Amino acid sequence: MKHVTYIGTRDASIQASASEAILKGICADGGLYIPAEIPTMDTPLEELAKLSYQDLAFTVLRKFVDFTDEELRACIDGAYDEKFDTKEIAPLVQKGDAYFLELFHGRTLAFKDMALSILPYLMKTAAKREGIDKEIVILTATSGDTGKAALEGFADVEGTKIIVFFPEDGVSPVQKLQMTTQEGKNTCVVGILGNFDDAQTAVKQIFTDVELAAELEARGYVFSSANSINIGRLVPQIVYYFHAYLQAVKQGGLSMGESINFSVPTGNFGDILAGWYAMKMGLPVGHFVCASNDNKVLYDFFQTGTYDRNREFHVTVSPSMDILISSNLERLISHMVGQDLTKEEMTRLQTEGKYSVEIKESKITGEYATEAETYTAIKDFFGKTGYVMDTHTAVGYAAYKKYKEATGDNTPTVIVSTASPYKFTKDVMMAMDDKYKTEDAFVLMDELAKISGVAIPEPIRGIETREILHKNVCEKTKIQEFVKGYLL
């Protein structure tokens, strides 16, 4: 089988195998790895429809990795097992006028589990293939969900350490406790006095610091990433777009070969980019709605062609989307306009905080939902259907409604549901009724269970009573200093 070669978004002469790209995480020049050629899906949809999630993952991922079939099977079997609380791994449910792809049935109740359950296995296999005998240090910035999912995946994995940075005052109470109570001798969690963009920028700088890399390599360490800047994090997400489509067909709401739309709440652009890759592989997608919250830098980009992070940063009720530097957009731009222009514009982003690129025929429309519109979507949809959305899924649904109203596009649509409402109980309940404003978030879980008919998920039951194991806090300008102090 022909395997994909990965190249840099800013320099096509930077080339790597899948194993090399997974281990490095980021290119030496600060660019990201992309497939030199996006593979096509040569198995007919009718055949794919017969597969389990695990077998579908095998069929998709073998197009992107250089592993043997046995190695890849072992990775998939280790990832998609009883740690998910539904047999389907990612159930598709039809409610009201849309489908909801529930990606929150893993241990951390968020879509990041879909990729971060398999990344440690991909990374260990890649390290073995590349003959890496040094300890791999996973550096991760999180806006809320990636951190816990990465910690869960890498905790006590031999030959690794993981350091997670999160905005100290920019995540939900449940998200924070999920991270700070994390067990595992190789885990380290740090709250930063800044936002996600500050953490992500610092982590990227560490990856491209040649002197630091040499110093740590001499001590037996190599860096890698669990963020979606790592192609090994991004590629597994392609699978659930195929899965969603095939489930819609099985449920009778879609004819095989008919187009489907997706509305994706996104901040860092990785989730929606995975769907775009699925479309490029041959999945019949009509359109993507890129759904933003009040930090609508992506909405403005798709409206105007100008990306400008020079704006007020909003802390919202959908914190995993509170991002002004959407790293994965660089991948789409590189595919669309080439490496030279991408390099030029990414330099402008670094120096001026903005850039302009004309993207044609991407099949992506930007939409956004304000905090008030997010609350309204949760309340109204529950009133009509009895289905409870979390604050991020609600952004996706509200954006879908705006897109549909503006275009008249009645194509069957999947809302990518990225988190359980239990991760954001307080805001979900406040959306239902302002009387919950003064209630404790953890007490309200019982109330949410009553109105939703869905039991409190086991992974967070009683989380407020667990011991805080990680109490590190650092200034946003001291992240590299912290990493060196922790490792050396």
Please give the positions annotated as active site. Answer: 112
Q: How many CB atoms lie within 10 A of CB 286?
A: 15
Q: How far apart are the first and last CA of the chain?
A: 43
Report the amino acid identity of residue 367. Answer: E
Q: How many CB atoms lie within 10 A of CB 442?
A: 18
Distance CA 28, CA 14 (A): 9
Q: How many CB atoms lie within 10 A of CB 379?
A: 17
Continuous segment of H or E residues that includes residue 145: helix 145-154
Distance CA 422, CA 363 (A): 33
Q: Could you tell me which residues come within 8 angstroms of residue 51 by beta carbon, excluding any fewer than 6 positions away?
A: 59
- Note whether 1 and 43 are within 8 A (CB): no
- Note whether 241 and 275 are within 8 A (CB): yes
Distance CA 242, CA 277 (A): 11
Tokens of 62: 């073998």
- Note whether 171 and 141 are within 8 A (CB): no
Closest CA to 316 of 109, 142, 476, 170: 170
Distance CA 168, CA 189 (A): 11
H helices then E strands: how many in the chain?
21, 16
Q: Could you tell me which residues come within 8 angstroms of residue 482 by beta carbon, excluding any fewer than 6 positions away?
A: 190, 472, 474
Report the amino acid identity of residue 1. Answer: M
Distance CA 486, CA 480 (A): 10
